[in-house]
């Protein structure tokens, strides 16, 4: 059986259509996720209750850990896309987004981070920071460190305003 020019063209058009259809299915599955301001309701994880709220002042010391690759490229609790190379963090109760200064109490290094996710949900952990932040704070290889977390109120208000303004667009 001989394939005619018409049949060949028809086959090629079908292949192009199939490729277009399949490529549209593989699009960004998080394209409709929009960053937003969030305080949130009280919630329970593994028997522990967390009560998010707006703070006028917040300063605590505790244990920090870091999170990276398994969450990279996925939406955070406030709808931003997590980037393990950005200066971000997860906190169980601060408003999202918030801005904090995290200081490693063992070496004195500090960084300013944008809190845009919930966590950590491991007993006795105060904050989870991005992989990059852990490197800058000097505890990437150890996995955890004793830290002080301070809420930067003016910067947090500006971050919240920025997200709320973008939501209206």
Gap between the Cα atoms of 134 and 64, Å rounded: 9
Alpha helix (H) residue ranges in the chain = 5-25, 131-137, 153-167
Is 19 a member of any domain?
no
Sign of CA dihedral 51, 151, 85, 120: negative
pLDDT digits (tens, 9 = 90+) for 119-140: 999 888 999 999 999 999 999 9
pTM: 0.79
Q: Can you read off the two tokens belonging to residue 132?
A: 């990059």
Is 8 a member of any domain?
no
Is 37 a member of any domain?
no
Domain that holds residue 115: 43-167
Is 7 a member of any domain?
no
pLDDT at position 139, please?
98
Gap between the Cα atoms of 145 and 2, Å rounded: 73
Is 70 a member of any domain?
yes
Give the domain CATH number at 120.
2.40.40.10
Is 132 a member of any domain?
yes
Overall number of domains in the chain = 1
Q: Can you read off the two tokens belonging to residue 125?
A: 């952990």
């Amino acid at each position: 059986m001989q394939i005619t020019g018409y049949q060949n063209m028809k086959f090629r058009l079908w292949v192009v259509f199939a490729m277009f259809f399949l490529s549209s299915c593989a699009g960004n599955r998080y394209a409709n996720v929009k960053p937003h301001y969030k305080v949130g309701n009280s919630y329970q994880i593994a028997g522990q209750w967390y009560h998010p709220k707006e703070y006028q002042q917040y300063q605590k010391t505790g244990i920090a850990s870091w999170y990276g690759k398994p969450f990279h490229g996925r939406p955070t609790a406030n709808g931003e896309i997590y980037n393990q190379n950005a200066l971000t963090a997860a906190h169980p109760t601060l408003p999202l987004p918030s801005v904090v200064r995290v200081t490693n109490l063992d070496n004195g290094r500090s960084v300013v981070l944008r809190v845009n996710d919930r966590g950590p949900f491991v007993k006795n952990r105060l904050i989870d920071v991005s992989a990059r932040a852990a490197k800058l704070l000097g505890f990437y290889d150890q996995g955890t460190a004793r830290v002080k977390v301070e809420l930067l109120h003016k910067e947090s208000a500006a971050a919240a305003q920025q997200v709320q303004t973008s939501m209206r667009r």
